[in-house]
Amino acid sequence: MNEVLKDKNGNILNPKIPRYEYNLYTNEEPIKTGRKINGKNEYVKRVSIPQLPNNGSLEIGTGLNINEIKVIDLKGLAYRSSDNTYIPLPFISMAGINIGLNTKVIDNILNILIETSSDRTNFTGWAEVSFIYN
């Protein structure tokens, strides 16, 4: 039986049936996720983090004009290939060795801001910003 259960707004409730399917490529154009936020289509853009900083900060441009969008979510992942270590971004360490994931606007363009409190130059990664258009 392949019944699709929906709520009164037409959203799929049956967890066995995929709700969203999209093909997201790093450093490419934003992709519509299939989800709606306040009646507007949600989009996601993924950007690469070529190398995390050494006790400092790094700004990565997204190409998204902050006057045209509203940010819904920001998340990321750092990866060290030498030992297959993955760290979620942002990362708060009990030892105070943190990695911040924030945003910064420069000339109306949304930038991803990565801040580290120790040497993380042996990590690469990615960040995803989810948003709706105004």
- Can you give the pLDDT at residue 72? 95
The residue extents of the domains of the chain are: 31-133
Question: Between these two residues, 94 and 3, which has the higher pLDDT value?
Answer: 94
Q: What DSSP letter does each residue of 5-60 carry, written as one string?
A: -B-TT--B--TTS--------TTS--EEEEEEETTEEEEEEEEEES---BSSEEEE
| pLDDT reading at 106 higher than 80 | yes
Q: pTM value?
A: 0.79
The Cα 95–Cα 49 span in angstroms is: 24
CATH number for the segment(s) 31-133: 2.60.40
